[in-house]
Amino acid sequence: MAKFTGVRSSVLALSLAAVAASMAACTSTDPARAAAPANAMPEMPGRAFAQRTCAGCHSIERTGDSPHPDALPFRRISEHYPVRDLEEAFAEGIFVGHPDMPPFKLSPEEIDDLLDYLEAIQDPV
């Protein structure tokens, strides 16, 4: 009986060690493993462009108000028209929006990146 108890103790000890190792991996402080907040977006090139160019007036995140009261939060664009419909306007230069919106023109790569980001953050309808 003592031999059986020793084997059972060894199995239990190995099982507990495996559980502890799994828990350590799940609760690691490694930033790559850290859980992102529900409203956080993965870093995308279009987000970086929006942060540099648009965030002074528009909310570019899944939550929050736009700093400029007349600037539509980017997550609500699809309530007004399909996001991909902006492709031509971005290529030719946007001259409409809120009354004091500066005109700007995007490169083909910036257009694709920004449209991908805009599509990723739209509020569900």
The model's pTM = 0.64
- Dist CA 103 CA 93 (whole Å): 6
Return the pLDDT at 119. Answer: 95
Residues facing 94 on adjacent strands = 104
Helix ranges restricted to H, 1-125: 2-26, 45-53, 86-92, 108-121
The per-residue pLDDT for 20 is 34
Q: Tell me what the pLDDT averaged over the chain comes to.
A: 73
Q: pLDDT of 60-107, one tens digit each? A: 999 999 999 999 999 999 999 899 999 988 888 776 666 777 877 889
Predicted confidence at residue 25, as pLDDT, reads 36
Predicted local distance difference test score (pLDDT) of residue 14: 35
Which has the closest alpha carbon to 116: 68, 54, 49, 63? 49
Computed on alpha carbons and rounded to an integer, the radius of gyration of the chain in Å comes to: 25
pLDDT for residue 44: 92
